[in-house]
Amino acid sequence: MHMADALLSPAIGGTFWAASAGAIAWCAKKVQQGLDDRNVPLMGVLGAFIFAAQMINFTIPGTGSSGHIGGGILLAILLGPYAALLTIASVLVVQALFFADGGLLALGCNIFNMGFLPCFLAYPLLYKPIAGSGKSRRRIAIGAIFAAIAGMQLGAFGVVCETVLSGISALPMHTFLWAMLPIHLAIGLIEGLITASVVTFVWQARPEILDCAAGAHPQSSAPITKVLICLAVAAALISGVCSWFASKAPDGLEWSIARVTGQKELAAPLAGIHGSLAGLQEKTALLPGYGFRNSGQEPAVHLEGQSAWPAVDPGATVAGLVGGGLTFLLIIWLALVFRKRRRAA
């Protein structure tokens, strides 16, 4: 359930980047203040452990397909929320850079969905109250299962919201939700069962590890307010962006109609820069006849309008096809040149 760069709009990507960068900075400060330098190697190897654990698959009962552990809630239980967020974020960075899971700009969304939501919502609001001080095996197990399910549902919901708000995919919100939430309910349940059994295994073998994690990061009572404040800020941020977005693009379909009829245009996020540049471009137009249909009335829209396919202007379509085709040929040619050079070297 990684969010991908290609599905993002700059506004959504930027907002979540800012939110996640803030969360990382805050957690980094918290971890540093924690003064337990054992955490430094512990977080590092636990991050690597997530990858190692994912090497090992298990058969999902009844389906015959295989799954592996995600590990978000497990990390939160072992490390406490602050260190866990950093560890999950580091795992996501490696996945983004090496495995093309997500991407650099989508990291913000992914850290929010898979790090912030489980660590600062599911863990303190579900696992902590249910598991209590960690003296009962059953309570630990139930807490882990509920927290994992909730974390997964929240994360899936996040993915849907971010995708729909970005507007690159035409999937309507409710259809997407119907596709995502039930699947992630199942995934969350399995993740919860696995997390519960791993945690109880560790608890039986070496109870001091969990005590240590719980003791080193008192999280149950006071910081709840902080969590809520944090959430309120995040919610305000997101709803701000959403409302801004919604007012500009009421809905994907309407948006595209507006685009076709050329009546209403969506301002690009960088409208200011683009606007002034568009003005500049108008003055210094390279080719005569390159003037854009709407440019006279709507200079700020120039760029976005230009990049849409103006259906009413077959000349532009042909020009776009010819130009695109030529560029494509150039790309292929360059690729072949480099390939030859490599062979020769």
Partner 1 sequence: MNHSLVEIQDLTHTYPDGTEAVHRVSLRIRNGESVAVVGANGAGKSTLLLHLNGSLIPQNGTIRVGDVHITKATLSDIRRTVGMIFQDPDDQLFMPTVAEDVAFGPISLGLAPEEVERRVTAALHQVHATHLRDRPPYKLSGGEKRLAAIATVLAMTPDILVMDEPSSNLDPRARRALIELLAGFRQTKIIATHDLDLVLDLCERTVVLREGRIMADGPTSDIFAADRLLAESHLEKPLRLQACPVCSRRGPMTAPLPGFGRNSNPDEPEGNRARQ
Partner 2 sequence: MPTIESAFFELHRLDHLAAQDSVIHRLDARIKVLIIVAFLVCVISFDKYEIAAMLPFALFLIVVLGLGGIPSGFVINKLILVIPLAVLIGLFNPIYDQQPLMQLGAVTISGGWISLFSLLLRFCLTVGAVLALIATTGFNTVCMALEQLGMPAVFAVQLLLLYRYLFVLVEEGQRLDRARKLRSFQGRGLGMRAFAPLIGNLLLRTLDRSQRIHLAMRCRGFDGAIRTCRLRRLNSRDVLVLVVAGGVLFAMRVFDGPSLLGRFVTGLLA
With CB under 8 A as the contact rule, the residue among 131, 144, 145, 268 that binds partner 2 is 268
Find the binding residues for partner 1 in span 198-227 (CB under 8 A): 208
Cβ–Cβ under 8 Å, residues 159 and 1? yes
First to last CA, the chain: 41
Among partner 2, partner 1, none, the one that 287 touches (CB under a kind-dependent 5 to 8 A) is: partner 2
Find the binding residues for partner 2 in span 197-236 (CB under 8 A): 197-198, 201-202, 205-206, 209
Q: What's the closest the beta carbon of residue 315 comes to partner 1, in angstroms?
A: 56
For residue 59, what are the β-bridge partners?
66
Q: Produce one character per residue of 134-162: b if its CB has 16 or more CB atoms within 10 Å, e if not.
A: beeeebbbbbbbbbbbbbbbbbbbbbbbb
For residue 58, what are the β-bridge partners?
67
- List helix spans (H) across the chain: 10-33, 39-54, 72-79, 81-98, 107-111, 117, 128-131, 137-166, 173-205, 207-216, 223-248, 252-261, 271-283, 302-307, 314-344
Q: What's the closest the beta carbon of residue 151 comes to partner 2, in angstroms?
A: 18
Write the binding mask 59 to 78 for partner 2: x where contact by CB under 8 A, - elsewhere.
xxx----x-xx---------
* 94 vs 142, beta carbon nearer partner 1: 94
Write the binding mask 32 to 71 for partner 1: x where contact by CB under 8 A, - elsewhere.
---------x--x---------------------------
Which span sits near partner 2 by CB under 8 A: 122-130, 217-225, 235-243, 311-319?
A: 311-319
Structural tokens at position 200: 């109880």
Q: What's the closest the beta carbon of residue 293 comes to partner 1, in angstroms?
A: 55
Q: What's the closest the beta carbon of residue 52 comes to partner 1, in angstroms?
A: 13
Find the binding residues for partner 1 in span 111-150 (CB under 8 A): none
Q: What's the closest the beta carbon of residue 44 comes to partner 1, in angstroms?
A: 8
Phi-psi region of 293 (alpha: psi -120 to 50; beta: other; left: phi over 0): alpha
Which span sits near partner 2 by CB under 8 A: 20-28, 120-128, 147-155, 228-236?
A: 20-28
Q: CA-based Rg of the chain, rounded to a whole angstrom?
A: 25
Q: What's the closest the beta carbon of residue 313 comes to partner 2, in angstroms?
A: 10
- The H or E element that residue 58 is part of is strand 58-59
Among partner 1, partner 2, none, the one that 331 touches (CB under a kind-dependent 5 to 8 A) is: partner 2
| Residues that contact partner 1, how many (by CB under 8 A) | 3
Amino acid at 40: V
Q: What's the closest the beta carbon of residue 30 comes to partner 1, in angstroms?
A: 23
Among partner 2, partner 1, none, the one that 167 touches (CB under a kind-dependent 5 to 8 A) is: partner 2
Which span sits near partner 2 by CB under 8 A: 131-139, 142-150, 221-229, 301-309?
A: 301-309
| Residues that contact partner 2, how many (by CB under 8 A) | 122
CB atoms within 10 A of CB 190: 22
Task: Give CA separation, 332 vs 320, 324, 335, 342, in Å.
Answer: 18, 12, 5, 15
Among partner 2, partner 1, none, the one that 222 touches (CB under a kind-dependent 5 to 8 A) is: none
- The H or E element that residue 67 is part of is strand 66-67
DSSP 250: S
Structural tokens at position 50: 């997530």
> How many residues in total does the chain contain?
345
Among partner 2, partner 1, none, the one that 178 touches (CB under a kind-dependent 5 to 8 A) is: none
Which residues are at the interface with partner 1 (CB under 8 A)? 41, 44, 208
